[in-house]
Structure 1
């Protein structure tokens, strides 16, 4: 008998029809109970996929493909399959899952590089990271970010990716995806630009990584405790000088721009905004997940151009 995994795709508001990481929570909760038989995931209500949803879906499918004899994906017959093809999703998973999408016709579509996205990329080693970071820098430059902004963002994201490669020791390593948008930016109703960055790995998670350092024993009682501590400067599982700044710096950069950083691992999730830090319990995530929102309102972009 086929196990049907459910989604929680919002049907109202600005996030209506959008596949986010949170949309996959019911599927992740049920995935821990799969018994090796066929599994189906229904994405027919999805109208739009953001990078976080794409990386989350990749991590979920990696988890399922290792444990199930057959994994099927039902997609809407609209723009979503074309977007997934453009983001290289089917190049990675096309031979590993069954789907109702016509992959042959999708593969024949003309592709172009709009300068606003980094396709879904799978990486395992630090040697692969410079290419990812270079692409992120290009996207930021295309969106008008100044050199010093790009250097700050990319240097810290490089450490986040390095953490994913180092601690994401699993069969699939880590995934990253990036896209820039022109829409209503996060946290406000002002129109502007926003760059969304998502990174997911299949490693042991933040709590176990930090618990290897004895001085963090009191800070890792729960997954959320470990996540909040990991967002402080200088905190790393290795204890090496110069490590442990990436997450804190990226969170600060995102918050100052009116965006956010969301860190998820195990059953915890912590999101950092400009003036607050929220944590909540969520279904088990097999590894560590980072989502960064970097918005720029039209007003701030014009002010920086004049400066």
Structure 2
């Protein structure tokens, strides 16, 4: 892939609870490549580890080359820490050539992650399951209630500990062999997908784990709908559980659809990173920590 004067390259990167995600696209809104990776939170990891993880994430994006110069890189990050912009800029520029570097609020980026749409609710499941909701004033709140990849992994571990000899537990344990050897939040979605495949193959224990995750997402969505007072929201589904599991997605859509017939439920794959990427296309600088 060669950058030309006709198309500029833009990169959106989101960091959430130990997991990062990135989307590379052009100036027309066309996605070129996407990738999941480890955290680049330098507060928690230190600069060296953050730089290594960010470099590994960016360099593994399909379609990117080491010689590419990016027009704008926008990072969507949680506001728990006070990030120094010069450190963020140095971190990015140590990994890629970028003309502009911006920082954006993670929650706002996630809610922008459905091009041409304005969701009131976003279900996130690549890490710990959580629900974002935007009220009519534009204020975004977040509820954490389970159903994400890490929740699926933790539930499976708990089930194995409680009933190690139950039917189907051996196969469930096999899904977690790599996790026990090297637990890492960025790998939780791989384990959750393996557990889901086991559930789809008919394993009763794995099926219970996935359905409990789906029920947790339903409870979170209902709580957010009640909080917003909006019974006809547009709900975006994002992450390996909400989108990657047909079992969880079907249960969620069926139950929420019955409870709120006017609710609309649509896919929002990689919403936080996509929102960061789309924010990169906006000419005005963005540094929003609300």
Task: Report the TM-score when normalising by structure 2.
Answer: 0.33
TM-score relative to the length of structure 1: 0.32
